[in-house]
Amino acid sequence: MDENRKPLTIAGLGDLHVAETAIHPCRDLFREASEQADVLVLCGDLTNLGTPREAEILAADLDSCSIPVIAVLGNHDFESGQPQDVARILREAGLRFLDSQVHEIAGVGFAGTKGFAGGFDNRMLSPFGEPAVKQFVAEAVNEAARLENNLRALRTERIVVVLHYAPVVGTAEGEPKEIYPFLGNSRLAETIDRFPVNAVLHGHAHQGAYAATTARGIPVYNCAHSVTKPSGRPYALIEV
């Protein structure tokens, strides 16, 4: 069989929230995932407060992972104002970041970005009123545009999108409705539905649902660590 047509098994995992006090928090999990999947995808919030020390702890555990690791940053990774340092440390440990580039593994293209908040469907925040509101919406629009540019760069038959924020309300269900606007936004899904995407992985909605679809029927998986998954493990196993 053509290597580029063989099914690829992805272990999807989000919201590790590695803290400075942690001692090898992911070593065994990464080793286990390496035995179950062909690639590990980390859906943001890799660290708890976005410090270089937290990134170093996670980087040390990446040594136990024997498969390629792809990731995006999450909102927690920006908390200390050092996301570039966090990304650099993890990149030096072998992690392949999306956002500014795309990656291809065994014929499957990976594109992604952090995403942003803003709400879903007809309750999505619009750029009207105060400058602060317009700036907030502009961030969501810019993230969707970044994702579109990355998707346009792929030439593979199979495509996986990786986000931190949710692109659909379906995987936010289970969270308090009051915080839905802060869990993601539909602009991401509108972008995804313009491309032949096979699957979307995200995190952030810790108490949300595992699976939903975009309006066009593209499957979306909430890979947050705390979400119950068919695998029975903190990571989802998704075949594309």
* pLDDT at site 1: 46
Residues across the chain: 240
Topology of 9-239 in CATH? Purple Acid Phosphatase; chain A, domain 2 (3.60.21)
pLDDT digits (tens, 9 = 90+) for 125-184: 999 999 999 999 999 999 999 999 999 999 999 999 999 999 999 999 999 999 999 999
Tokens in use for 227?
């979400």
Half-sphere exposure of 98 (CA within 13 A, CB side): 36
Structure pTM? 0.96
Could you read off the pLDDT tens digit of each residue along the chain, which spans 240 residues? 455 679 999 999 999 999 999 999 999 999 999 999 999 999 999 999 999 999 999 999 999 999 999 999 999 999 999 999 999 999 999 999 998 899 999 999 999 999 999 999 999 999 999 999 999 999 999 999 999 999 999 999 999 999 999 999 999 999 999 999 999 999 999 999 999 999 999 999 999 999 999 999 999 999 999 999 999 999 999 999
Beta-bridge partner residues of 237: 11
What is the rounded distance in angstroms from the CA atom of residue 50 to the CA atom of residue 84? 10
Q: What single-letter DSSP state applies at residue 2?
A: -
Q: Which helix (H) or strand (E) holds 135?
A: helix 131-153
> Could you state, in order of their start, the residue ranges of all structural domains in the chain?
9-239
Q: Where are the beta strands (DSSP E) in the chain?
A: 9-13, 39-43, 69-72, 96-97, 103-105, 108-112, 158-162, 199-202, 211-213, 219-222, 236-239
In this structure, how many other beta carbons lie within 10 angstroms of the beta carbon of residue 140? 23
